[in-house]
Amino acid sequence: MTGLILKDLLILRKTLRSYLLFLVVYAGIAFSGVWSADIVGVLMVVVVMMLPMNVFAYDKQCQWDTYGLALPVGRTKTVAARYLCVLLLCLGGIALTAVTGAALYAVGRIEDPAEFMVSCAVMGLMAVLMNAIMLPFLYKFGPERARMMFYGVLGLLVLAGALFLFPLGGMEWLNSLSEPNLEQVTAIPFIAAVAGLILLALSFLLSRHFYGSKDV
C-alpha cells in the first residue's frame, strides 16, 4: 500500500512544487499586508482539492487502473492508499498553513493567533470535506465527469448555505456571533479532526463500493 501512496506523491511531485511556489507568493502578499493571512488557508483548501483530481486524471491518462489491479494489492487497499495519500496531503497543507501563520504572527501580521488557529482548523476540515465529497464521484464517474459534478455539488452547497443564512440575517448575523472563548478555541481543532476523519471514513466506504464493482 505504501508503494501506491508513494506513486501518487511522485506523480504529483512537479505539481506540488508549483503549488508550493504559489503558497510562497501568497504568503509574501500576506506578509506585505495587502491581503489577510487567511488567504493562505483558502489557497491550501483549493490546492488540496485539486491534487486528487490531478492524480485521477494522470492515472486515467496512462490507464494505471488496469495495471494497478494486476498488482498484488487488491481493490480495498488500492482505495485505502488513495485516501491515505489525500489525508497526508491535507495534513501537509494544514501544517504548511500553520507554519506560515506562525511566521506571519512573528512579524506582527496576525494579531490573534487563536483566531488563526481556529481558521486553520476550519480550513483543514474544509479540505477534508471537499475531498470526502469529491473522491466517490471520481471513483464512480472518472476525472472528467466527476469534476463537473463536483462543481455542481459545490454550487448546491453554496446555495443551501445562502438559503440557510438568509432568513437569519446573512453576513450580519454571522458577524454578530460572539467570539469563541479559549475552551472553544482549543476544542475546535479536535472537533474538526474527528469530524474530518469520520467524513473520510464514510467517503472511503462509498468509494470502495464503487471501485469494487467497477469494470476496468
- What mask of x and - would describe binding to another protein in positions 74 to 93, judged by CB under 8 A? x-------------------
Strand, coil or helix: 33: coil
| Structure-block grid coordinates of residue 160 | 443551501
Residue 132: closest CA among 193, 80, 202, 54: 202
> Taking CB under 8 A as the criterion, which residues in 99-118 touch another protein?
none
Among 29, 31, 46, 58, binds another protein (CB under 8 A): 58
Please report where in the chains the cell 507568493 appears, as a residue.
25
Stretch that binds another protein, among 32-40, 56-64, 108-116, 187-195 (CB under 8 A): 56-64
Q: By CB under 8 A, tell whether 210 contacts another protein.
A: no
Q: Which of 111, 172, 183, 215 binds another protein (CB under 8 A)?
A: 215
Q: Which of 29, 46, 73, 117 binds another protein (CB under 8 A)?
A: 73
Minimum distance, C-beta of residue 11 to another protein, in the bound complex (Å): 4
Single-letter amino acid code for the residue at 60: K
Site for another protein in 25-54 (CB under 8 A): none
Cα angle, residue 88 at apex, residues 42 and 2 outer, rounded to 5°:
155
- Nearest 5°: CA angle at 191, between 187 and 193? 120
Rule CB under 8 A: choose which of 17, 34, 72, 171 binds another protein: 72
Applying CB under 8 A, among 30, 43, 59, 125 the residue interacting with another protein is 59
Alpha-carbon span 208 to 77, nearest angstrom: 9
First-to-last C-alpha distance (Å) of the chain: 20
Q: Is 192 exposed, middle or buried (0-12, 13-18, 19+ CB in 10 A)?
A: buried
What residues make contact with another protein under the rule CB under 8 A?
A: 2-4, 6-7, 10-14, 58-59, 61-64, 66-74, 213, 215-216
